Amino acid sequence: MLFRKIKGVRIEGNKQMSRCAPLRDYLDPPVVSIPLLQGMSVLKPAVEVGANVKIGDIIAYREGFGAMPIHASIAGKVTAIKKVWHASGRMVEAVEIENDHSGALSDSIQPEKNPDGLDKEALIQKMIDAGLSGLGGAGFPTYIKYQTKCPIDTVIINAIECEPYLTCDFLMSIKYPEKLVKGLHYFMKAAGAEKGVIAYKAYNQAVEDAVKPYLERFPEITTFPLKDVYPAGWEKYVTEAVTGKTYPKLPSQVGVIVNNAGTAIAYADMVENNIPLIARNITITGEGITNPQNFYVPFGIKVAELVALCGGYQEGLDPKYAWYIAGGPMTGKAILIDDLVVNDTLGAVIVIPTPKEKLHPECLGCGKCADACPAFLTPTEIKRAYDMKDETAIRNLQADKCIACGLCSYVCPSHIEITDAVVKARDSLKKGA
């Protein structure tokens, strides 16, 4: 298949801040508030205030597209249905659970007698029952990928983590390499795929070293190191790099499914122990944090609590005068405060002291954004069309192909927030479709 090869851009990682400390479990907070929102889907609560729940009990349902249950991340009493700050930058309804610190597990959480005896349908049903969504940031219901009618020959695990500052996937992969390999093995069975690949950045040799002892049992699984460029973690980039194939819309069109490393690790627990998706890994970092760290935490815990565990903010930094980014700096969303809760899509919170004034507030016409764009768009032209509300021009400029990677803003010498305008232009086409 002919295609233009995605080049990628070398960017400063700033990962040294948080990658040295070991991944820290913090699974018994005093209270959690689990958002009743997943992606764009509002969830229907399945419990009432005053109910007692165990870890893994169903507390809400996602209905319609991607329908599946949502589970309690701690044991205790439902004390409120209240609004909390969400990674999307807005307040949403949430189920608040006060921890009774019993650690009581739902009756459904128990070892699977013969996990390797499960067939394709049973393995996909596990994804549904466990409420598995992708932990790479999109939060897409995983089982939908495995219901494709396209024949799948390869499942790729994305352990690349190309966003600057983020290191939680790296530390998760080297802490649970056996689960990473087993999760991929089960994904392959669910897809009917003959090949599995764990893709990682070449400088993260520790990932290769960690999984290597377990690959002897699974000869159909290999590893693939990638160059240190952005956006190497974009599924189209990694699919091209690993298979030499590209596609117009979905990797399944060339026989590939891509899953995040954290998703694979969670899936191993789901298949073998029936543990639903109730927790995730997260990086708390940035120049504004005293001691950046990575945590494994239950959904619904407040980020402010994790900031405190990092020693708080750097001395002299007034939190009111800082940039907060929910997610990575390239694709994340600016938020106002640290008073938000962890959900399935929140892989990091980055705190950066307020930057200096922009040097060049106007576009210089340098074309760097177009050169860097992995989707081969002209971001400044799309921004101009959006500012003029010219829907025809937006459509002709193919704004719908934007992947919101953030590279156009990153390379802009005038520090213009081009990405924001291009994403709005893209979304305006979807609304008008």
For the domain spanning 1-23+103-355, the CATH number is 3.40.50.11540
Average pLDDT score over residue span 103-129 = 97
Rounded to an integer, the average pLDDT of 272-290 is 97
Q: What is the DSSP string of 102-138?
A: --PBPTT----S-GGG--HHHHHHHHHHHT-B-TTTT
pLDDT for res 321? 77
Residue-by-residue DSSP string for 363-381: -----HHHHH-TT---HHH
Task: In whole angstroms, give the CA distance from residue 345 to residue 332.
Answer: 10
303 has a pLDDT exceeding 90: yes
- The vertex-232 CA angle with 250 and 410, nearest 5°, equals 110
At 2, is the pLDDT very low, low, confident or very high (cuts 50, 70, 90)? Answer: very low
Closest CA to 18 of 311, 264, 261: 311
**pLDDT over 60 at 4, yes or no:** no
pLDDT the model gives residue 372: 81
Q: Which of 313, 283, 262 is nearest to 18 (CA)?
A: 283
Quick check: 347 and 172 in contact, CB under 8 A? Answer: no
Name 80's bridge partners: 96
Nearest 5 degrees, angle CA 423-CA 428-CA 433?
A: 130
Cβ–Cβ under 8 Å, residues 92 and 344: no
Instruction: Check whether 177 has a pLDDT greater than 50.
Output: yes
Instruction: Look at residue 227 and tell me whether its pLDDT is greater than 70.
Output: yes
pTM as predicted: 0.86
- 205-215 helix and 168-175 helix, angle to the nearest 10 degrees: 30
- Per-residue pLDDT of 373-431, as tens digits, reads 888 899 899 998 999 899 999 999 999 999 888 888 878 877 788 988 899 999 998 87
User: Where along the chain do its domains lie?
Assistant: 1-23+103-355, 368-432
Length of the chain: 433
pLDDT at 416: 84
348-353 and 279-285 beta bridge pairing: parallel
In this predicted structure, the answer to whether residue 360 has a pLDDT above a threshold of 80 is no
Between the CA of residue 67 and those of 132, 140, 318, what are the distances in Å? 11, 11, 42
Question: Angle, to 10 degrees, between the axis of helix 120-130 and the axis of helix 177-191?
Answer: 120
Report the candidate in 176, 221, 169 with the shortest Cα–Cα distance to residue 198: 221
Spatial contact of 5 and 153, defined as CB atoms under 8 Å apart: no
Angle at 154 between CA 151 and CA 156, to 5 degrees: 135
pLDDT of residue 7: 61
How many percent of the chain have pLDDT more than 90? 73
Q: What is the pLDDT of residue 299?
A: 98
List pLDDT tens digits, range 245-270. Answer: 999 999 999 999 999 999 999 999 99
pLDDT for 358: 45
Q: What is the mean pLDDT of residues 223-241?
A: 90
* 8 Å CB contact between 36 and 43: yes
pLDDT, residue 207, reads: 97
Mean pLDDT score, 54-82:
97
Radius of gyration of the chain (CA): 21
What per-residue confidence (pLDDT) applies to 408?
87
CA-nearest of 243, 270, 271 to 257 is 243
Locate 419 and state its tokens.
């990405």
